[in-house]
Amino acid sequence: MTRTRTPGISRRSTLALMGAGAMSVAAPWVARAQAKTIKIGMPTILSGRVAQLGTSSRNAVMLEVEKVNAAGGLAGRQIEMVIRDSKGQPQEAARVARELVNTDGCELLLDGEASSGSFAVHEVARDLGVLCVHTCSEASSLTADPKQHIPNAFRCVRQGIHDSIVGGSYAAAIAKAKGLKKWATCSPDYAYGRDTTGEFTLYLKRFAPDVEIISESWPKLFQPDYTEVVTKILQAKPQALYSCLWGGDLTSYIDQANIYAMFSQMEVFAVNMADYTALTVVKNLPKGIHSGNRYIKTFPTTPENAAWGDAYKAKYNEYPTNWSWQNATAVMFLAEAAKKANSADGKKIAEALKGLAIKCPFGADGTVTMRGDDHTLVGYAIGWGTTIPQEPYVPEVKAGDWKTIFELEAEWKKSKGYT
Amino acid sequence: MDLDALAGCLSSSACLVTQTTSGLIIGMLLFLVAVGLTLIFGVLKVVNFSHGAFYMFGAYFAMTAYQLTGSFALAMLAGAAGTAILGLIFERVFMSRVYGADVLMQLLVCYAFVLIFDDVVRLIWGPEFKSMGMPSAFQVMPLFIAGGVVPPYYLLLIGVALVAAVVLGIGLSRSRIGKVIRAAAQNPGMVSALGINTGLIYGGVFALGGMLAGLAGALAAPVRSLTPGMGFSVLIESFIVTVIGGMGSILGALIGALLLGLIRSFGSLGFPLFTEGLMYLFMVIVLVSKPTGLFGKEAA
């Protein structure tokens, strides 16, 4: 009997086509898995008034990535950074983040924008399931609120609630010593500004119950002129002022407040002052502004921190910023987590990151930890001091106590219904 | 809403002085930018959307001159003269080619230059914010007038803007060149037929508008952080001023700017979360009751 071939596609051909189809669909993933390099996407602010912070983030990341690559990369894969400008706009940050993953083939996301855009990027990470390490947003709710929690997002940033506990207790001690009962606040009108100011005043009042907030100002983010805000505060005649303005907004505010002699009329607590981005830009830096440490190479007072600050300056001819150390720490975490997981796979790195403690120049005791239950950074050096107009700018910093921070943070989470 | 704070302020001479001065400062800076915008529209019939860039360049020119010379006067001169030259070149090379074109085309060209100018600033001065710093002559205690606080630098700022307003007003209404400019605005064909170089007049008006915006930028430089794109928010407020005052009206620009400044200043006390909204609300009220603006003329 002679076998005749039926017209059309044979079973073998059909299977081959199906196989080829499946391969073509899976090709990007297969190609990514086999790629020697691993692309990390970084949506950050490279234009506008806070571009200096975004640039300093990129610089710090590149500094650390060079070290990681020289040591063999992430589990043997060399890191290739793909850095895009989010322009500080939430919708643009989300768009860029999505494009970095879907179009550029990035397997991890780093940075995730300031608080104005971090929640948008967070949702992109939730949607795409890609590992995202936030390195700029300090809004406490980003990781503290269980509704925001996703297994693939971490935050390697100081947190507003930590700053507020340390800042509130520091400010309360000064308030009690100097009799500062009438306070005003002036902070940017967005998540970080509202959250941080609320938390600071919560702890200020807790430790100094006599304190009264007599005036609040909420200028919009990147507002060019603060004259009406400055005069409003002067009218209220507070004895002390708290502000979490930052970057160019803070320097504008200081320049404008300076000519009203505001700094001689009240004690000023500006949590974001002690960062080189503000300290070196303000031409007439007032003496005696109270500030939390952001990045200064003299706190923590360790050779490792000073060496890191000097290495950054040697490479980029300027000092790093608060965003620099946070981004650098995130790269250190990724490298250690990949080593622990023996893999560059995002899910495995995420698992390894939970509860991971690493040696770090910015740790209060030389180490920092990525806390497992809420995926946030703890153990970093945190403290407050007063400014002088030349280096070291904040000669003495009073360090916060992490035991107290943990206790009060747990209490705060409970009060917010987060636990 | 904090009407008690507003009422308290209105009954206190100290608060009135401080907030009125604050409103004048905001208003006068806005006037310098807006008057150039309205002048260019009045004469050239172009809505110069790139006008905020001249404010930005004025600030950067002033900062650079101040860093090089340490002279505040030279910094102001550099801000004003630099942007005048830039305005002239910009008008002759680019804007003169879109006169009479569709408004959309003019807006697109101007918007393209907003982005180009921002990138030029980024290339020359870098993307990070800068601070010029207050000249030492003005690093003094503020004046206390009737209990209100008034920084001497802001008095200078208000004075310079007022002088500019007066010179501009008198110059346009009394001088020969002013009459020619007004004639060119009304009937360019007739002016040209009389042998007057209208191209020169247009270039001069554009340079003058640029110079005023540049002067505003230079005056703002010691108290505002400088960054690429800083002209945009000023431009929006200047447009509001121009529309409220009436497109093409210099007096309208002055009154509109002062009203807006005072709304911001006193609004921040009574309506702290609605200060921006107050500006827009005021614009809507003016336009609904008088669509041509406070001093705008009905189209013939």
Domain positions in chain B are 1-126+135-287
User: Does residue B274 surpass a pLDDT of 70?
Assistant: yes
Q: What is the pLDDT of residue B299?
A: 56
Q: What is the pLDDT of residue A7?
A: 42
Q: What is the pLDDT of residues A232-265, one digit of tens each?
A: 898 889 999 999 998 888 988 998 898 888 998 9
Q: Check whether the bond before A392 is cis (ω within 30° of 0).
A: yes
Which residue type is seen at B110? C
Asked if residues A151 and A128 have their Cβ atoms less than 8 Å apart, the reply is: no
- The confidence band for B11, taking pLDDT boundaries of 50, 70 and 90, is confident
User: Using alpha carbons only, what angle is made at residue A322 by residues A175 and A251, rounded to the nearest 5 degrees?
Assistant: 65
Give the count of beta carbons closer than 10 Å to the beta carbon of residue B7.
12
Residue A51 to chain B, least CA–CA distance (Å): 5
Burial of A116 (0-12, 13-18, 19+ CB in 10 A): buried
Instruction: Report the distance separating Cα A70 and Cα A126, nearest Å.
Output: 32
- What pTM did the predictor assign? 0.79
Asked if residues A324 and A56 have their Cβ atoms less than 8 Å apart, the reply is: yes
Rounded to an integer, the average pLDDT of A60-65 is 97
- The confidence band for A31, taking pLDDT boundaries of 50, 70 and 90, is very low
Say whether A220 and B230 touch across the interface (CB within 8 A): no
Residue A113 to chain B, least CA–CA distance (Å): 16
Mean pLDDT (chain B) is 89
Residue B145 at interface with chain A, using a CB cutoff of 8 Å: no
Report the Cα A69 to chain-centroid distance in Å: 23
Q: Which of B30, B66, B67, B268 to mutate to test the interface with A (most CBs of A within 10 A)?
A: B268
CA dihedral A26, A27, A32, A34 (to 10 degrees): 110
User: Does residue A270 surpass a pLDDT of 80?
Assistant: yes
Q: What is the pLDDT of residues B227-261, one digit of tens each?
A: 888 898 889 999 999 999 998 888 899 999 999 99
User: Does residue A43 surpass a pLDDT of 80?
Assistant: yes
Nearest residue in chain A measured CA to CA from B17: A231
Q: Which residues of A touch B145 (CB under 8 A)?
A: none
* Cβ partners under 8 Å of residue B132, min gap 6: A283, B59, B62, B63, B66, B67, B75, B221, B222, B226
Rounded to an integer, the average pLDDT of A387-414 is 94
Domain A38-159+301-378 matches domain A161-300+383-416 at the CATH topology level: yes
- The confidence band for A6, taking pLDDT boundaries of 50, 70 and 90, is very low
Rounded to an integer, the average pLDDT of B130-152 is 87
- The confidence band for A49, taking pLDDT boundaries of 50, 70 and 90, is low
Asked if residues B30 and B232 have their Cβ atoms less than 8 Å apart, the reply is: no
Q: What is the pLDDT of residue A409?
A: 95
Residue B134 at interface with chain A, using a CB cutoff of 8 Å: yes
Question: For residue A300, which of A388, A397, A159 has the smallest C-alpha distance?
Answer: A397
Nearest residue in chain B measured CA to CA from A47: B127
Q: What is the pLDDT of residue A9?
A: 45
Instruction: Report the distance separating Cα B212 and Cα B214, nearest Å.
Output: 5
Give the count of beta carbons closer than 10 Å to the beta carbon of residue B192.
14
Question: For residue A32, which of A100, A97, A82, A105 has the smallest C-alpha distance?
Answer: A105
Phi, psi of A342 (to 5 degrees): 55, 40
User: Does residue B133 surpass a pLDDT of 80?
Assistant: yes
Rounded to an integer, the average pLDDT of A355-365 is 97
Say whether A47 and B229 touch across the interface (CB within 8 A): yes
Q: Which of A45, A189, A259 to mutate to test the interface with B (most CBs of B within 10 A)?
A: A259
Alpha-helical segments (H) within A303-345 = 303-316, 322-341
Q: Domain B1-126+135-287 maps to which CATH number in 1.10.3470, 1.10.540, 1.20.120, 2.40.128?
A: 1.10.3470
Rounded to an integer, the average pLDDT of A298-310 is 96
What number is the ipTM of this complex? 0.77
Q: What is the pLDDT of residue A28?
A: 46
What token pair was written down for A172?
Answer: 């309360």
Instruction: Report the distance separating Cα A41 and Cα A133, nearest Å.
Output: 10
Residue A260 at interface with chain B, using a CB cutoff of 8 Å: yes
Asked if residues B224 and B274 have their Cβ atoms less than 8 Å apart, the reply is: no
Asked if residues A379 and A399 have their Cβ atoms less than 8 Å apart, the reply is: no
User: Does residue A280 surpass a pLDDT of 50?
Assistant: yes
Residue B234 at interface with chain A, using a CB cutoff of 8 Å: yes
Instruction: Report the distance separating Cα A332 and Cα A326, nearest Å.
Output: 10
Residue B19 to chain A, least CA–CA distance (Å): 7
Rounded to an integer, the average pLDDT of B271-275 is 82
Say whether A252 and B225 touch across the interface (CB within 8 A): yes
- Chains A and B: how many Cβ contacts under 8 Å? 129
User: Does residue B147 surpass a pLDDT of 90?
Assistant: no
Residue B26 to chain A, least CA–CA distance (Å): 8
Q: Which of A231, A234, A273, A275 to mutate to test the interface with B (most CBs of B within 10 A)?
A: A231
What token pair was written down for B204?
Answer: 């001069």
Say whether B19 and A231 touch across the interface (CB within 8 A): yes
Instruction: Report the distance separating Cα B134 and Cα A284, nearest Å.
Output: 7
Q: What is the pLDDT of residues B31-62, one digit of tens each?
A: 999 999 988 888 888 888 899 999 999 999 99
Number of H helices, E strands in chain A: 15, 16
Burial of A150 (0-12, 13-18, 19+ CB in 10 A): middle
Q: What is the pLDDT of residues B54-92, one digit of tens each?
A: 999 999 999 999 999 999 999 999 999 999 999 999 999
Instruction: Report the distance separating Cα A43 and Cα A84, nearest Å.
Output: 5
Q: Which residues of B touch A220 (CB under 8 A)?
A: 276
Residue B273 to chain A, least CA–CA distance (Å): 7
Q: How is domain A38-159+301-378 classified at the CATH fold level?
A: Rossmann fold (3.40.50)
Say whether B230 and A224 touch across the interface (CB within 8 A): yes
Residue B129 at interface with chain A, using a CB cutoff of 8 Å: yes
Say whether B229 and A48 touch across the interface (CB within 8 A): yes
Q: What is the pLDDT of residue B295?
A: 87
Residue B139 at interface with chain A, using a CB cutoff of 8 Å: yes
Domain boundaries, chain A: 38-159+301-378, 161-300+383-416
Burial of A178 (0-12, 13-18, 19+ CB in 10 A): exposed
Residue A218 at interface with chain B, using a CB cutoff of 8 Å: yes
Say whether A261 and B142 touch across the interface (CB within 8 A): yes
Say whether A259 and B142 touch across the interface (CB within 8 A): yes
Q: What is the pLDDT of residue A371?
A: 97
Of B15, B128, B152, the CB nearest to A52: B128
Say whether A255 and B223 touch across the interface (CB within 8 A): yes
- Say how many residues make up chain A: 419
Of B18, B129, B233, the CB nearest to A251: B129
CATH architecture of A161-300+383-416: 3-Layer(aba) Sandwich (3.40)
Is B229 in a helix, a strand, or coil? Answer: coil
Among residues of chain A, what percentage have pLDDT more than 70?
91
